[in-house]
Each structure stands twice: as structure tokens, then as C-alpha cells.
Amino acid sequence: MPFRTRYTGLIDKYRDRLPVHDDTRIISLGEGNTPLIRLNNIPRVLGKDVDIYVKYEGLNPTGSFKDRGMTMAVTKAVEEGSKAIICASTGNTSAAAAAYAARAGITAFVLIPDGKIALGKLAQAMMHGATVIQIKGNFDKGMQLVKEVATEAPVTIVNSINPYRLQGQKTAAFEIVEELGRAPDFHCIPVGNAGNITAHWIGYCEYSSASGDHVTGACSFCHGQCKYAGGAVVGNRPKMVGYQASGSAPFMRGKMVDDPDTLATAIRIGHPQSWDMAWKVKEESGGWFDECSDDEILAAQKLLAEKEGVFCEPASATSLAGAMRDITSGTIPEGSTIVCTLTGHGLKDPDIAIKQSTPVQAVDATLEEVKKAILANME
């Protein structure tokens, strides 16, 4: 008989480190367990001796890291008797909320910003049967409205202010440590609302703590949800480096940004909900924040697709864009092991991908024309 190896999602896998009971009904689509891909060609392009891995979160069931948090948030919402969930979203959260609500048989309401949402994400929310409400305002306004609505209507917020979201998302750090056999030296990650950078830090701290590293103080991130609430730790943890798009970079400005703008619509956020926690992550980990221009972000997205065969959405490429700059300048030294989180799949935003690619060649349907087109492009 073959050995049974069916993967049944991250709650099943990390059940002992997540706030679930033996009889909790788990709402899962098999999320997590995403590939950690070692880049072969980009370090050569940079001319630096570094190990860069990308954690390809775009291969989650709805195409982004949001599924990790959503399996937890929806599982708990259902356990607590909720019949409806709500979120504000730049797109990916709404896609995940819609899918997991469909799986659970409950209702999803999603508030999305006017116009600035990638087509793939909108298609997902609509297809899964969510009630999609487009507001004449940006994500930050949507977030404010969601918080207000939730005080008056029986709906559970599933944005990352829901502590279960971060609990699910922390498992990405577990997977990385398990695969590398240690934490990386640097973990580079795009920052919007700053939930994911916080969740990764919780994950690294817990893993380190569970491995018996030195405990230095109370865990200040998890709102008592984690099973290692006894202490945060020093030891086998990376420096956390958060990159923002220049037009939406409140962590660089040191204050909220009222009119954020970037082509990387997923991180078009001026009022991050996890503001205080993200500053703490930076300090505790000895990391930093930096910003990337839209041009740098798109160039990194293209380079990754062309040189490594990995297609991520623009916001995701912010981690690699920033890491490449910091590797080139030596801020991230040679000899380092670096993990860049690629938060969402490139197919989420086909418009941007097509716009920045060489146009398709239209030729007559004859052997001669096709041969001509091939020969003209032979290296």
C-alpha cells in the first residue's frame, strides 16, 4: 500500500500551534505548503554571492498569501456562529474571503476601491458569489467603513485586524524554517497594511521559541492567540525588511499618507492597520523599511518572470526589487541567505503584465511568414 501523504491544509499541519480545538470544523482549500524557489540566475545578474529564495505565495488556492489567514479567520468565524464575513480590500483579501465563505456556506461582503483593482481579483470575488461593493474611495476609506458597519451589523471582519488572520499567516515562516533548516538572514517582504510582516515575525519567534532558544520577554504580537504566548525570543530569526511603493510609503514618511498611489494596486495603502506592530517588528528584528519606485517594481517583476520563470503580481515584486537594491549596495552583505515573499500570482493582474511586455507579433498564417518571424527572433 502506498504511504498516505494527502496534504489537507495548514491548520491540519500546524494544528498544535494554532487556536483550534479537536472538534473545530476546518474550512480549508489546501492552502499553504507553497514552494520556496532558489533563484539561479538573478544572483549572477547581480554579480553577488548570495542565496536568494522566493516564497511563491501566488500558488495558494486563490493565488495569494491571503488564503493562509483566511482559512483561520473563516474557520473561527464559523466556529463562533457567524453567518457573514466582511472585508475592505485592494483585491486579494476579497478573493480569499469570497472563496472561503463559499466553501463554508456563509455570506461574504467585500468593499473594494473605485477602479484601482486588478481584474483577476475582481473576477474571483464575483465568481465566488460575494456581494461586491465598490466605494468611491480608496482602501483606507473602505477599511474605516468596514469597522463602522461591523459595530452595527452581525458580520465578522476578516481583514488582518482579525487576530486569527495573522495566526494563519505566521505558518509561512514555519515552512521556511523547516525547508531551510534555519531562519534566513534577511526576510524581504512587501508592506501594505503591514499584517504580513507582523505575522511572519510571530511565526519566526514562535518557531525559535519552540526550538528552545532563549526567551527574553512577553510575546506582544499575538493578542494571546499563539500557543507560545509565554515569550518572544532571540536566536534563530531573520532581520525583517519591509518594502513599500514610493507613492504609498507611510513607513518611510513616518506618518500616514492620505492619498496613496502606485501601479502596485495591492499595496496602495496609506493608513496601515498594523502600524505599531510593524515598527516593533523592525526594531526587534534589527531590520528596516525602504521604498521602491513603480519602475523598479515593474523591472523586478519582469526580471523574475524572464530570468527565473516565476510570475508574480507587481506588489509582490516589491520585495525582490528592494532586496536587489540592498544586495547591490552591500546593505545586505554577500554570503547572506535571503527570502523574498512573493505575495500574489502574476495572473491576478494581466493588464499590467501585457502592457510591459513586447507586443505579440501578428503574421499571415503561412509557413513562410511564421519562419520569418522565428528567424528574426533567433539568438
Report the largest interatomic distance among the alpha carbons of the chain, rounded to a whole angstrom: 72
Residue type, 50: V
| Mask for 132-161, x = binds ligand F0G (CB under 6 A) | ----------------------------x-
Task: Report the nearest approach of ligand F0G to the CB of residue 336 (Å).
Answer: 23
212 burial via Cβ count (<10 Å: 0-12, 13-18, 19+):
exposed
Give me 28's grid cell. 480549508
**Binders in 325-344 for ligand F0G, by CB under 6 A:** 343-344
Among 34, 60, 64, 124, binds ligand F0G (CB under 6 A): 64
Among 70, 194, 324, 332, binds ligand F0G (CB under 6 A): 194
Regarding 196 and contact with ligand F0G (CB under 6 A), the answer is yes
Q: In this structure, what is the dihedral angle of CA atoms 13, 27, 56, 298, given to the nearest 10 degrees?
A: -160
Among 125, 226, 266, 300, binds ligand F0G (CB under 6 A): 266
Applying CB under 6 A, which part among 73-81, 261-269, 293-301, 322-330 lies near ligand F0G?
261-269
Residue type, 260: P
DSSP β-bridge partners for residue 186: 239, 338
Among 301, 316, 324, 346, binds ligand F0G (CB under 6 A): 316
Applying CB under 6 A, which part among 75-83, 279-287, 292-300, 308-316 lies near ligand F0G?
308-316
Among 163, 168, 195, 250, binds ligand F0G (CB under 6 A): 195
Regarding 173 and contact with ligand F0G (CB under 6 A), the answer is no
Task: Report the nearest approach of ligand F0G to the CB of residue 34 (Å).
Answer: 13
Closer residue to ligand F0G in complex, CB, 34/43: 34
> Which are the contacts of 310, defined by CB distance < 8 A and separation ≥ 6?
37, 54, 56, 304, 342
The answer to whether 95 and 101 have CB atoms below 8 angstroms apart is no
The answer to whether 117 and 348 have CB atoms below 8 angstroms apart is no
What span, in angstroms and rounded, lies between the C-alpha atoms of 281 and 273? Answer: 14
Give me 6's grid cell. 494527502
Applying CB under 6 A, which part among 19-27, 37-45, 186-194, 295-303 lies near ligand F0G?
186-194
Q: At what angle do helices 275-285 and 195-210 cross, to 10 degrees?
A: 50
Among 28, 34, 71, 93, binds ligand F0G (CB under 6 A): 93
Applying CB under 6 A, which part among 28-36, 83-91, 176-184, 299-307 lies near ligand F0G?
83-91
Closer residue to ligand F0G in complex, CB, 62/336: 62
Q: Which of 54, 51, 50 is nearest to 36 (CA)?
A: 54
The answer to whether 270 and 140 have CB atoms below 8 angstroms apart is yes
Binding residues for ligand F0G (CB under 6 A): 64, 66, 89-93, 160, 190-196, 266-267, 269, 313, 315-316, 343-344
